[in-house]
Copies of this chain bind each other. A is one copy, B any other.
Amino acid sequence: MSSPLALQAIGVIRTARTHWEKTPVQSSLNPDEPGQLHVYEPFVPGLAGIEDFDNLWLLCWLGDGNWSPTEPPPMTQVPFLLQREQRSVGIFATRGPRRVNPIGLSLVRLDTVEGGVITFRGVDMVDGTLVIDIKPYVTRFDRPGDEPRCGWFDGVDLPAAATPDDLAH
């Protein structure tokens, strides 16, 4: 814990998904499936007021046993959504999990908050995923004023509930 850029988990995700290959790649593509975030006890008072928001950003830690802070992943990769075309793009032009810092950004819909348990909809996380931050979705901050260009995403199908396995074939 001597690094100035060290994190701690604030909670853990509980979902019905146990394999990332069979987990939808984005919350918005799987908006109805429920999951839970169990916030660790010391941080539960930090949830005060969160029940008045319809949507939350969950920042999740996507590092696994293969990830090392000193060995960055390839800087260009074929995203799950471009598997069929086998087209590579820079990792900072993707939302994939293999990043220099393996942080995922998921927009979920808040259902209930009971004690330290947040029930939400929009599962794109495997069971056991660690959460490092929760932020409220604020329309004034988080919505561009126009219809922005979204790069290669504008040219691909985004099939409902697509998983990496679905997209590989």
| Residue positions of A touching B, CB distance < 8 A | 1, 3-10, 26-29, 31, 42-50, 52-55, 57, 59, 61, 63, 67, 69-70, 72, 75-76, 88-95, 99-101, 103, 105, 107, 109, 130, 132-153, 158
Contacts and interface: CB of A to CB of B under 8 A. Distances in A.
Given A5-B132, A28-B140, 11 more contacts: A42-B72, A46-B75, A48-B90, A53-B151, A59-B59, A92-B133, A95-B141, A107-B141, A137-B144, A139-B150, A140-B158
B137 A148 contact: yes
Contacts of A49: 89-90, 93, 151-152
Contacts of A100: 8, 10, 43, 46, 132-133
7 contacts: A46-B100, A48-B88, A50-B92, A53-B151, A54-B144, A55-B144, A55-B148
Given A45-B76, A90-B49, A138 B109 contact: no
A145 B139 CA distance: 12
Nearest to A103: B133
B139 A147 contact: yes
For the complex of A and B, 7 pairs with smallest distance between CB atoms: A48-B90, A54-B148, A52-B151, A49-B93, A45-B75, A49-B89, A46-B75
A95 B136 contact: yes
A57 to B, nearest CB: 7
Nearest to A146: B54
A103 B70 contact: no
Contact of A43 (B75, B105, B142): B75
Interface centre among A50, A92, A132, A140 (most CB of B within 10 A): A92
